[in-house]
Chain A
């Protein structure tokens, strides 16, 4: 294995596993799709990174945070549904990005460029992913209870606003990291696929999170293995590997329920 492939692999496994863990929370809050528009919000930052030659994630992060703040402010000012505001803000971000993004670099922005990651980038990606993993672990129980009943959570003295803020920041960081690896188009899939696969096979929250984590690791490994032998774009192969696991889980779920009946 070349050093480049090794760096790509550990980065993808770290981000994939953490995105998958976060995905279980986002799935239960019916927010899996939100990662898509958030990924697109990163496009102007990705464009700046590509034009001026700095790290894509560094460019993406402030734009995602800015996007979240604009959506939050517009929600207060207009009382329009969050999904409508997300659509408006992300479309504006995409339009602005394509005004000055060189067309030949659009592919990198949309589907990522795993091979461009250097040693320093890989170390930061892995450390940030591990940090976010422990943050999610810390807020996980409270977020599940908030999701079941905000009233029950309030009685348990859980500060809902604080937890939601930490949760959104975790999403912003993971989306920024994912954008670099699989591009703005595929970020939502990196978060949603392992959680959806795990949910098909789980009855308990323990199994759900463990399986999501496992599929979050397996998809990049399989994707990069195929990349090595075919040379096709790695980001796309990682997502397709995740989709393959999902299809298998649908089949297994169907088989299990048929056996039980």
Chain B
């Protein structure tokens, strides 16, 4: 459990002339559930995309050779593909590196009805769509999953289902998860570690050590109301 799956050292990222991430260092161990917290424009999404080699950076990002990374981006909703004539089955066929039958992965995310394969992806509900996307990501059998606010556009009940599903997957499949979320309750309930970042400061540690009123106030630059309940 103590092996590092990701090592980030002195990471800096500039987009145009603007410095978004400045000298950030942290490690992620195999089997960790790391949540990334912070106000808007603190560089969370940029960090995730930099880890995925989408943005240029200076510093060091070292993934373990055993890391197979899957990623669920932010903002992909059924509305975006509403008029797109594409069946769920065809969407799975667009994936280059996939192992096995789509149903195998759809079952992992709680979808057992085979008929979904013949549904148009734009006709799925927000929750179903997000689960289908998760199954799509899982079909390349990653052992590290990166999520950028995985419940955007889903109602409260759907949110709970997605988060508990991720937690179950993490436990059952012994995955490493790195996830951006705004939900402090989810952070304390599920994550093993937290990376709390603003433009000026970064805190990294266990939820108990990080989710303190003084730290949250400093990061969010405003008092944050939140009731801790650790498990």
Contact = CB atoms under 8 A, between A and B. Distances in A.
The judgment on whether A and B are partners is yes
Interface of A: 28, 141, 144-145, 148-149, 151-152, 154-157, 199, 202-208
Given A152-B76, A155-B71, A144 B86 contact: yes
Given A148-B76, A151-B54, A205 B71 contact: no
Interface in B82-126: 84-87, 90-91, 93-97, 120
B73 interface: yes
A205 B69 CA distance: 28
Nearest to A206: B90
Contacts of A145: 94
10 contacts: A148-B80, A148-B94, A149-B76, A151-B52, A155-B71, A156-B96, A156-B97, A203-B85, A205-B86, A207-B85
Contact of A154 (B52, B84, B93): B52
A148 B84 contact: yes
A213 to B, nearest CB: 14
Contact of A204 (B69, B70, B71, B86): B86
Interface residues of B, number: 22
B84 A28 contact: yes
Contacts of B69: 155
B81 interface: yes
B49 interface: yes
A239 to B, nearest CB: 24
A148 B49 CA distance: 17
A192 to B, nearest CB: 15
Given A205-B86, A207-B85, A141 B52 contact: no
Contacts of B120: 203-204
Which 4 residue pairs across A and B have the least CB separation, nearest first? A151-B73, A202-B85, A208-B85, A204-B87
Given A203-B85, A203-B120, A204-B87, 8 more contacts: A148-B76, A148-B81, A149-B73, A151-B54, A152-B76, A155-B52, A155-B71, A156-B97
Nearest to A24: B85
B54 A154 contact: yes
Given A144-B86, A204-B85, A207-B85, A156 B95 contact: yes
Contacts of A199: 85
A141 B98 CA distance: 14
Residue in B81, B86, B97 whose Cβ sees the most chain A Cβ within 10 Å: B86
Interface of B: 49, 52, 54, 69-71, 73, 76, 80-81, 84-87, 90-91, 93-97, 120
Nearest to A200: B85
Contacts of B96: 156-157
B131 to A, nearest CB: 16
Nearest to B96: A156
Contact of B73 (A141, A152, A202, A204): A152
A20 to B, nearest CB: 15
B85 A205 contact: yes
Contacts of A149: 73, 76
Nearest to A211: B85
Contacts of B85: 199, 202-205, 207-208
Contacts of A208: 85
A155 B69 CA distance: 9
Contacts of A202: 85
Nearest to B70: A155
A148 B93 CA distance: 14
A141 B93 contact: yes
Nearest to B52: A155
Contact of B87 (A154, A157, A203): A203
B30 to A, nearest CB: 21
Contacts of A141: 93-94
B115 to A, nearest CB: 13
A203 B95 CA distance: 20
Contacts of A155: 52, 69-71
A222 B22 CA distance: 65
Nearest to B148: A151
A205 B90 contact: yes
Contacts of A204: 85-87, 90, 120
B222 to A, nearest CB: 30
A251 to B, nearest CB: 19
Nearest to A209: B85
A164 to B, nearest CB: 16
Nearest to A145: B94
A253 to B, nearest CB: 12
Nearest to A153: B94
Contacts of B86: 144, 148, 204-205
